[in-house]
Structure 1
Amino acid sequence: MYLAGQFYSTMVRILGLKIELRVSNKIDSKQNYVFVANHQNSYDILTISKAALPGVVTVGKKSIKWIPIFGLIYWLSANIMIDRKNTGSARNTLDATLDKMNAKKLSIWFFPEGTRSYGRGLLPFKTGAFRLALAANKAIVPVCASEMHNKIKFNRWNNGTVIIEAMEPIDLPEEMNAKQLAQHVHSIMSAKIAQLNIEAEKLDNA
């Protein structure tokens, strides 16, 4: 994820976007985390992936590997693939992800909405990322990007600013199950995205 993010983010100029990246100094590069990010559209690979740190891999749909070129890169990057149609496989994937995370000191990146939002705001979270965080006893790092919906027009060079922020790690609150934890993180990210939207608009209008 890290190398792919660094490579693809260099292509963001094609979109006419300026990326402002903020990374909390509370994130310890020697620790591994569960990263959760908002998923807006197909351009995320060029934008929000810039926040990925060394040692970060993703969990994605098994069908991704069939996408020409990108799918091969995704597979060769040791990312973890799941079959969402197979419940048993998904449970096995959680165990395998946990084992891989601990054995190789990896951080795992999720888009917990499970789909692209396309301007509908931050969608409800699925619980997989939070079940993993609880099982691994790892802090969660929210990664938030300001709104991109309807912002990109290919007939102009300047499509404004997208602010991406990797927030301070959230330690696991006591006595929270995966669903409650998902809702807790969702509320934090929703507030942060609203703040980033205001800041990005001010930068664009300056």
Structure 2
Amino acid sequence: MLFILRMFLMGLLFVIAGVLGLLLGLCRPFNPDNSRICARLYSLPALFILRLKLDADVQGLLEHQRSCVIIANHQSNYDLFVVGSVVPRRTVSIGKQSLKWVPFFGQLYWLAGNVLIDRGNAQQARQAMLTTSETLQQQDTSIWVFPEGTRNLGKGLLPFKKGAFQMAIAAGVPIIPVCVSNYAQAMRLNSWNAGGVMIRSLPEISTRGLTLADMPQLMERCQAQMQTCIEQLDRQLAGA
């Protein structure tokens, strides 16, 4: 019964937050700070509805003063509600072009200045990557990417794709890893308290002086740091 009630309230939240976010986007279209506000419209009420205890150690991320590429592990559709509360100012994300057809959410996602990519169209995807590199260099805007490219369902990091690292190297901006404990399989949506989740941002990783030849080592370094951190967060939650 509690699960059904929660899903009803989450559905209602999805519509209400979508309408409010769409109005915000219409009032100031493509403002890169729209994403942060919209993320919180979804996240903060959702955490209350789910009674999901969030422990976030992301001061370094929120206080970062210049453009960067933010990479995070991608577990489930609930990521919007989990990480939405820690999206920093002037941060947009990259999503599938098909998102624009999702009622309310898709339209506000576009109006918030996020980048939509058709992964089946290589030329369009390359052009979008060039656009994001220019955004990082010239518009004081950061980009949030899930480098796994798909949901890992809380079963551990999947291999990283190259896009986020190509952007960071091309723009000469640092990478900030954001690690989320494995919550996707542990959430108890039919219990009063759905569980706990921990988020931690790691120190920035510089790309200054790097070329595309350095990308495999950069990807390996980022994945190793994130894997270690996620395992630490999981142990902390298990011992809490």
Gap regions ≥5 residues in structure 2 = 1-34
Structure with more relative contact order (C-alpha pairs < 8 Å, separation 6 or more):
1
Residues 57 and 79 in structure 1, CA contact (< 8 A), matched pair in contact too: yes
Residues 27 and 168 in structure 1, CA contact (< 8 A), matched pair in contact too: no
Gap regions ≥5 residues in structure 1 = none
The 10-residue stretch of structure 1 (167-176 or 61-70) with the greater mean CA deviation from structure 2:
167-176
Structure 1 residue aligned with 2:229: 192
**Distance in structure 2 (CA, Å) of the matches to 1:109 and 1:103:** 17
Report the CA distance shift for 1:152/1:28 in structure 2 as closer, same or farther (over 3 A). Answer: closer
**Cα-to-partner distance string for 1:137-190 (whole Å, 9 max, x where unaligned):** 111000110011222222211122100112211112765522321121011100
Residues 51 and 143 in structure 1, CA contact (< 8 A), matched pair in contact too: no
Residues 27 and 169 in structure 1, CA contact (< 8 A), matched pair in contact too: no
Aligned-pair CA distance for 1:68: 1.5
Identity across the alignment (%): 36
TM-score normalized with structure 1 length: 0.92
Residues 188 and 195 in structure 2, CA contact (< 8 A), matched pair in contact too: no
Structure 2 residue aligned with 1:38: 73
**Structure with the larger helix share:** 2
Matched residue type, 1:160: G
Residues 18 and 162 in structure 1, CA contact (< 8 A), matched pair in contact too: yes
Across the two proteins, how many residue pairs are aligned to each other?
Answer: 203
Query: Rg: which structure is higher?
Result: 2
Structure 2 residue aligned with 1:149: 184
Asked if residue 50 in structure 1 is aligned to residue 85 in structure 2, the reply is yes
Aligned-pair CA distance for 1:62: 0.7
User: After TM superposition, what 4+ stretches of structure 1 lie above 4 angstroms from structure 2?
Assistant: 173-176
Structure 2 residue aligned with 1:8: 42
Summarize the alignment of residues 92-111 of structure 1 with structure 2, pairs less than 5 Å apart.
92-111=127-146
**Distance in structure 2 (CA, Å) of the matches to 1:47 and 1:86:** 31
Q: What's the Cα RMSD here? A: 1.7
**Distance in structure 1 (CA, Å) of the matches to 2:42 and 2:151:** 18
The 10-residue stretch of structure 1 (98-107 or 58-67) with the greater mean CA deviation from structure 2:
98-107
Aligned-pair CA distance for 1:24: 4.0
TM-score normalized with structure 2 length: 0.80
Aligned-pair CA distance for 1:114: 0.3
SS at match of 1:53: coil
